Amino acid sequence: MDYSVWLGLLVGLAVGGAYAFWQLRALVRHERILREQGQSPKITSMLPGSFTRIAILLIVLIGAQVVFPKANLLWVLVGVGVGYGVPFAWRLKTMYSKKK
């Protein structure tokens, strides 16, 4: 693999991991607030905040492509997918293992 592939993968992993951390933190905070109010967590109440986070993710991806023009865009997207998907897969695994 050449330099642009590695750079794209690293940039994507950094952006995807940071975004996943941000999403998970917001999810935990939202669930905690609803539990304190005596309500069960609802997905629909998280949607307005998630749209803002998605818009910021797109801006960051455009900024990353401007800052790192040599990064292979395909591998940036692969890195974002892996960096975002792994923490959420881990979260789902822990959620379902607690229910059993």
What pLDDT, on a 0 to 100 scale, did the predictor assign at position 49? 76
In the structure encoding, which two tokens stand for residue 58, read together?
A: 């797109």
What pTM does this model have?
0.81
pLDDT digits (tens, 9 = 90+) for 28-82: 888 888 888 888 766 666 666 778 889 999 999 999 999 999 999 999 999 999 9
In degrees and rounded to multiples of 5, residue 59 shows phi and psi of -65, -40
In this structure, is residue 71 part of a structural domain? yes
Burial of 27 (0-12, 13-18, 19+ CB in 10 A): middle
What pLDDT, on a 0 to 100 scale, did the predictor assign at position 45? 66
In this structure, is residue 86 part of a structural domain? yes
In this structure, is residue 100 part of a structural domain? no
Tell me the residue range of the domain where 62 lies. Answer: 3-94
In the structure encoding, which two tokens stand for residue 54, read together?
A: 């998605």
In this structure, is residue 99 part of a structural domain? no
The structural domain count of the chain equals 1
In this structure, is residue 85 part of a structural domain? yes
What is the rounded CA–CA span in Å between residue 76 and residue 65? 9
In the structure encoding, which two tokens stand for residue 48, read together?
A: 């307005």
